[in-house]
């Protein structure tokens, strides 16, 4: 039997490992969890998926943070139905993380102001795109990005921080000797953890 990681038969350590990978993804471009897939519910009730950049993972507060444009479909979908899910798979670690929870949109508060201040100029530019994200255009290049700093700052009004409070986390580790799957829930505030059949 090959050596298994310390979390192999330790529920609490599985949760720590999940948050470690998420934090690593938020901190490093090359982290496997840097670009998770976000699921929202569309207006028609059908699921909708897209990639986002994970900006922060706070295990203590059970928070995941990403940024978006207020004019995007996902922003409207979150405003309508705050229940969302995020998925990431680290092929090197052979770990899948599915986090479900409730999202809040922040545009005018101190949180959004701090995130905007910390954003790179190139990232800020995206929020100044015209027309807005998702608008049909006659040609692929039929949109404009701000070319000067003052115009780029106009994107601030469209910039949104999205915070997801994780209420359920499903962890899967693939191993030749036997996969492991664990589920962590904080529904109603009471934490619970259980192994699941993978
Ligand atoms: C690698 C990668 C990272 C992305 N990061 C973000 C992001 O952090 N926030 C965002 O709103 N869109 C991001 N996008 C674009 C979205 O995946 C999506 O195409 C766009 O936001 C429109 O989504 P919506 O119409 O569902 O709102 C990213 C796309 C890629 C390929």
Residue 127: predicted pLDDT: 95
Q: Check pLDDT > 80 for residue 2.
A: no
Helix (H) or strand (E) holding 16: helix 11-27
The whole-number average pLDDT for the span 65-79 is 98
Res. 1 pLDDT band, cuts 50 70 90: low
Residue ID of nearest Cα to ligand 1 atom 5: 52
Closest ligand 1 atom to Cα of 66: 8
Residue range 102-137, pLDDT digits in tens = 999 999 999 999 999 999 988 899 999 999 999 999
Residue 21: predicted pLDDT: 98
Residue range 13-26, pLDDT digits in tens = 999 999 999 999 99
Closest ligand 1 atom to Cα of 75: 27
Residue 153: predicted pLDDT: 83
Q: How far is the CA of 148 from the centre of ligand 1 (A)?
A: 23
Distances (CA, A) of 180 to 73, 93, 160, 169, 183: 36, 13, 36, 14, 10
Res. 154 pLDDT band, cuts 50 70 90: confident
Would the CB of 16 count as within 6 Å of ligand 1? no
Higher pLDDT, 130 or 152: 130
Q: What proportion of the chain, given as a percentage, has pLDDT over 90?
A: 89
Residue 190: predicted pLDDT: 76
Closest ligand 1 atom to Cα of 53: 8
Please report the beta strands in 3-45, taking only residues with DSSP state E, as ranges in sequence order.
Answer: 37-41
Residue range 25-58, pLDDT digits in tens = 999 999 999 999 999 999 999 999 999 999 999 9
Residue range 137-147, pLDDT digits in tens = 999 999 999 98
Q: How far is the CA of 129 from the centre of ligand 1 (A)?
A: 14
Would the CB of 53 count as within 6 Å of ligand 1? yes
Residue 149: predicted pLDDT: 78
User: Please, what CATH class does the domain formed by 11-196 belong to?
Assistant: mainly beta
List alpha helices for 30-158, DSSP H.
Answer: 73-80, 110-118, 121-126, 149-153
Q: How far is the CA of 49 from the centre of ligand 1 (A)?
A: 9
Residue 151: predicted pLDDT: 76
45: region left, alpha or beta (phi > 0 left; psi from -120 to 50 alpha): left
- CA–CA separation, 85 and 97 (whole Å): 10
Q: Check pLDDT > 90 for residue 187.
A: no
Q: How far is the CA of 51 from the centre of ligand 1 (A)?
A: 5
The whole-number average pLDDT for the span 171-186 is 97
Residue 189: predicted pLDDT: 66
Closest ligand 1 atom to Cα of 50: 17
The closest alpha carbon to 129, from 40, 137, 104, belongs to 137
Mutation to probe ligand 1, out of 52, 67, 71, 78 (largest number of atoms < 8 A from CB): 52
Q: How far is the CA of 72 from the centre of ligand 1 (A)?
A: 9
């Amino acid at each position: 039997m090959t050596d298994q990681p310390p979390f192999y038969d330790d529920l609490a350590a599985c949760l720590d490992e999940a948050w470690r990978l998420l934090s690593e993804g938020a901190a490093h471009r090359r982290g496997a969890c840097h670009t998770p897939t976000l699921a929202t519910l569309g207006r028609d009730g059908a699921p909708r998926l897209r990639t986002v950049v994970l900006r922060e993972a706070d295990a203590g507060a059970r928070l995941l943070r990403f940024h978006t444009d207020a004019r995007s479909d996902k922003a409207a979908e979150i405003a309508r139905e705050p229940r969302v899910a995020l998925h990431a798979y680290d092929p090197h670690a052979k770990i899948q993380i599915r986090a479900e929870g409730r999202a809040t949109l922040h545009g005018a508060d101190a949180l959004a102001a701090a995130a905007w201040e910390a954003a790179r100029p190139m990232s800020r530019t995206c929020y100044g795109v015209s027309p807005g994200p998702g608008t049909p255009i006659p040609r692929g290049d039929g949109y404009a990005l701000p070319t000067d700093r003052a115009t780029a700052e106009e994107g601030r009004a469209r910039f949104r921080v999205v915070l997801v409070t994780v209420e359920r986390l499903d962890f899967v580790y693939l191993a030749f000797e036997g996969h492991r799957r664990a589920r962590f829930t904080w529904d109603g505030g009471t934490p619970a953890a259980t192994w699941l059949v993978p």
